[in-house]
Structures are given as C-alpha cells and as structure tokens.
Amino acid sequence: MTILPIDPVANASPEALSSFLSDCRDSAAQAGRPSLVSITIQVDDLDPLAVLESIFEPGERHFYAERPSEGWAIAAAESVLAFSTSGPGRFAACQRFIDKVLEDAVAVGDQDIPFGGPHFLGTFSFLDSVAADEPFEAACLFVPRWQVARRGGRTAAVANLLVEGDSPVESLAAKVWRAHSKFRSFDFRPPELPDERSGVASSVDEVGGRRSYESAVSRAVRRISRGEFEKIVLARAKDVRAEARFHPLRMLNGLRQRFPDCSSFSVANGRGQSFIGASPERLLRVDGRVALTEALAGSTSRGATASEDASLGNQLLHSEKELREQRIVLDSIVRCLAPLGLSLKFPPRPQLRRLSNVQHLHTPVQARLRKGVRLLDMLGRLHPTPAVGGAPRELAVPAIGQLEAFPRGLYGGALGWIDSREGGEFVVGLRSALVDGSRARMYAGAGIVAGSSPETEFAETELKFKAMQDALLGA
C-alpha cells in the first residue's frame, strides 16, 4: 500500500483533489486494474452512531460496533468493494482478498489517527457454509464508502473510492469534498425512526417450542454421559412480530446504553436484513503485535441487593460444574492456538465478569504474535470456540444441527474489522437478533455439560433473551 501522509482536503480545493484522483486514475489505467483510494481526515468529536443514523439507508450495507466502557466506536456505510466465500478455507481466502486489495491501494492522510486508513469489515457465520436462502454469507468482507470512528478522544472520517482507468474523477472529487466538509461540521438531523408502535409485539413465538429445547438438553446430557463430547452449546430462538417495522439503529442505541461493558453491533446485508446485538465476548483483538482473546463460560444472574449479588458471584466462582465449563473453553483456546507457536499468558483462576443482567466466569488470554502469524490465522483457529460450539469441537459442532430446530446463521459467528496494518477486533455474535422489517428472530444459548438440567438451562437462556427483547420492544 502506498501511504501519502498529507491532507488533500484541508489546504486544497475540489480542483486539487480532482487532479490527485486523476493521477490515481492514470496509474490504474497503466496497471490495468482498479485501485482503492482511502482518504482520512481528523474531525471534531462526533458520535458515530448519530452519523450512521443520519445517512442510514435500508438498501445499503452498514456496519457498526461500539464498546462504551473502552471509549471506541466505528460506523461505516455503503460498499465500494465486497468479497464473499464459504467452506473450511474461508479465513485464508479472505486474507488473500485483503492482501490483493492493499497491494494497489493508496492511503492518504494521517494513518496514525485511530481507525485511520482503509478497513475491511467482516462477518463469519457460525458454520463454514450456509444455505443459499440465508440472509448472510458464510464469510463476507466489505470496504465501506464512508467511515466515521473514534477512540481515545480522536475522531477520524474516512472516504474510500475505487478508482478505475475510466473513472469520472471530477464527480468523485466533488462527492468526497462535500462529504468531508459535512463531517468537519456535522449537522445532526433527526433520523426518520419508526413510530412507537414498533415497540408493540403482536406475537412472540418459541421456534420449535419449549419442550423441544428441554428435550434437546436431555438428549445432549445423555450423549455427554456416553462420552461423545464434553460440552455442547444449545441455543433457542424466538420469533417476534411487531405492529410496525423495527429500526436496527434505534435498538442499537438502547443496547449500548444498557450494556456499556459489551460490544454493541449492527451489520446490514444491503438487502433489508440486519443482525444486531450486544456481545459480552471478545473473540480476538490484535493491536500492534499483541493479541487478546478470552474464555467466557459459566453464568449466573445478578442479585437484587449487594449481598445477594456477591453471594451469587461467589457461588459461581466455586461451582464445580461452572468451573469445569470454563476450563473446557480455556483448554480449547490453548489447544487450537498451539500450532501457531504462541506463548499464551492468562491468570490461574477465572475472574467474575459482571454485566447489567448476568455474571460470567472470565479468563483473559494474551499473546505476542510471532512473525508470519496474522489476525485471520488466529481467528480461523479460534472460531467457533467451545463457548458457542462445544468440545471437542469436531464432535460437538456437527451435533448442534441434529439437536437445534433452526439454522444459526451469524448467531455464534464472528463480526469485526481488520485494518491495513493487520490490527483489528472481532466479537462473538451473542445476545443477538436477526431483524427483517417488522419481524425479528432472537437467539440465546447455554453450555451443556455433565450435570446440566433442562430446567436450569432454559432459565439461563430466558435471562439472556431479556436483554434483546427489551431492546426490540422498548422496555
């Protein structure tokens, strides 16, 4: 990638920007292939979700992720480049796509601004392949036309263009100039959100029925007792119908306010469907050459008083069943990453991770990347973790399709971004819902191990459903 650390907008004109893009067009014509041009400027503090609300179009791709407690958020809309694939080699295929795009890319502006430069926004479904009629591909990356993101008190606005040998550079330059001028002094216009009837459900139906889930748990426990696998994660789904269309960004705003310690997200496929949620689990983060992942397994509720809350947390920390489930996840992470030769560091005992409505056992894991090891190398080995699949993975994951009554799609999948410096972050698609007009399908799951009871696991999933149902219905 060619980096030009100048700001072509701040001290220039539309004509100067057009001249710069003309040079890029000439280079693309000479090379015989298009070039990605990414223009970054630092702007005054903006709320990326408010920006996305302002430019939201149901028929366009979008991506949003935010963790308020860590002070970062990224919003992106429209697509100038997209790539999709499926199968066991999907992570490697996505890496080849990124490398190919960056080979001819030109990045303009200060690349040291957080979230500066081109980003590849991605989703990976729970399974390696999905049915042809599912709304999201097994693996998809796209480069957005517009991106606004902030971290550490700094906000970056990025415009991405695909410049070809015959591109109309004057109109492209004018569009970028207008957009960056808008981002420099953003006028937040109220979004056209649905009326309050969208918070009224006409029906909420269990997919397959309650008995179906409890039966599946009982069958899973019997298979565990026969030694088929140690753990399996089984999910439920509920279909919600409302009196008006759901707006994913209205729900997203509610989720980020309710769950500041989670990663709130929304991804849209450009065909009308969105996948939204507030995930408590970071699958992988790479910053510099330091990688962070975590084992998150074992759950209990929050108490009504400080004493009750502490008592529930203490019980969780000493529960043989919950500690065993946590250790299964941690051992799997160590085993999956072993072929990469990384030195993993983690505390000897799990910690409590307290969210607004639930407590989890949590073990952070850190490693310094060796030369030649990249984010997607790790992601492909980690996903799906036993926290969403089971262990051993090769035995538990195929059994999920035999026991659940619906396709998972992005539920339990990986969602996130990769930047041009091989950094990025992916979260697990948990506490989530697939939204399509006035319909939504919510998902929640629980880890099944020896000693699990159908009634307890049903109650745990009910607790997890509440967060999304409140967001959907405005409770």
| Among 158, 186, 188, 160, residue whose Cα is nearest residue 53 | 188
Asked if 1 and 105 count as a contact pair (C-beta separation under 8 A), the reply is: yes
Pairwise CA distance, residues 435 & 274, whole Å: 5
Asked if 87 and 292 count as a contact pair (C-beta separation under 8 A), the reply is: no
Pairwise CA distance, residues 129 & 85, whole Å: 9
Question: Which residues, 6 or more positions from 118, have their beta carbon under 8 angstroms from its beta carbon?
Answer: 36, 38, 101, 102, 105, 107, 143, 158, 160, 419, 420
CA dihedral over 434, 435, 436, 439, signed as positive or negative: positive
| Among 237, 301, 252, residue whose Cα is nearest residue 443 | 237
For residue 123, report the phi and psi dihedrals to the nearest 5 degrees: -135, 140
Q: How many residues does the chain have?
A: 475
Q: Within 10 Å of residue 353's Cβ, how many Cβ atoms? A: 20
The three-point CA angle 320-326-332 to 5° equals 130
DSSP result, 251-287: HHHHHHHH-TTSEEEEEEESSSEEEEEEE--EEEEEE
Tokens describing residue 180: 């960056």
The three-point CA angle 129-279-85 to 5° equals 20
Rounded to the nearest angstrom, the gap between the alpha carbon of residue 69 and the centroid of all alpha carbons in its chain is 16
| Among 227, 235, 217, 214, residue whose Cα is nearest residue 395 | 227
Pure H helices in 262-371? 306-317, 320-337
Asked if 466 and 355 count as a contact pair (C-beta separation under 8 A), the reply is: no
Tokens describing residue 9: 């907008």
Asked if 55 and 77 count as a contact pair (C-beta separation under 8 A), the reply is: yes
User: Annotated catalytic sites, by residue?
Assistant: 231, 281
Tokens describing residue 17: 């920007």
212 sits in which H/E element: helix 210-225
Tokens describing residue 422: 């091989």
Asked if 267 and 275 count as a contact pair (C-beta separation under 8 A), the reply is: yes
Ramachandran area for residue 108 (φ above 0: left; ψ -120 to 50: alpha; else beta): beta
Pairwise CA distance, residues 206 & 237, whole Å: 6
